[in-house]
């Protein structure tokens, strides 16, 4: 475990500061979409000293199923294992909550995220074709690839 991760504290929060909202926008550039799931989910933040450096939101979508609907790491802390640390924390919290499955979705263009999720045991279970065309007003790009489809992944917890 890196020295950074050893110093990070993950806690639940209800307070949406400007810094936290900026992190939410890193994972989802639509305030409308963020606001639609903020009130329904549990927000967990990763902090280092008093700075928020990462976050994820767990949302109950169906009986015994939770979904990570937003996960982000502040840009100056990326590529240090914090995303993996956050996702492992989400997996453990979902297990402790009695969930049978944890789901997550990402864009077809999210190459790094797709690799990480699969390394942690998530498997592709579906593709929501044209998701980003239906739900966002302007084209989104990542890795110089336009976001068209939502890749849906799932991990069995029991």
Phi then psi dihedrals of residue 81, to 5 deg: 90, 0
Confidence band of 1 (pLDDT split at 50, 70, 90):
low
pLDDT (tens digit per residue) in 35-58? 999 989 999 999 999 899 999 999
The confidence score (pLDDT) of residue 130 equals 98
Number of compact structural domains in the chain: 1
pLDDT digits (tens, 9 = 90+) for 57-68: 999 999 999 999
Asked if the model's pLDDT at residue 24 lies above 90, the reply is yes
Average pLDDT, whole number, for the chain? 95
Q: What is the CATH number of the domain that holds 56?
A: 3.40.630.30
Residue 104, class by beta-carbon neighbours within 10 Å (0-12 exposed, 13-18 middle, 19+ buried)?
buried
| Paired residues of 142 in beta bridges | 145
Domain that holds residue 49: 3-156
**40 sits in which H/E element:** none
Q: What global pTM score does this model have?
A: 0.93
């Amino acid at each position: 475990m890196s020295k950074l991760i050893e110093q990070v504290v993950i806690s639940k929060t209800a307070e949406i500061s400007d810094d936290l909202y900026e992190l939410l926008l890193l994972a989802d550039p639509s305030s409308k979409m963020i606001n639609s799931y903020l009130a329904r989910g549990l927000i967990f933040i990763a902090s280092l000293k008093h700075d928020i450096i990462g976050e994820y939101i767990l949302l109950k979508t169906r009986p015994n199923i939770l979904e990570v609907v937003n996960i982000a790491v502040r840009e100056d802390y990326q590529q240090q294992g914090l995303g993996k640390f956050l996702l492992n924390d989400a997996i453990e919290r979902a297990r402790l909550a009695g969930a049978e499955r944890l789901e997550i979705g990402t864009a077809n263009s999210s190459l790094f995220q797709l690799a990480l999720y699969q390394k942690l045991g998530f498997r592709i279970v579906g593709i929501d074709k044209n998701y980003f065309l239906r739900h966002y007003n302007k084209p989104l790009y990542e890795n110089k690839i336009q976001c068209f489809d939502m890749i849906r992944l799932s991990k069995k917890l029991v």
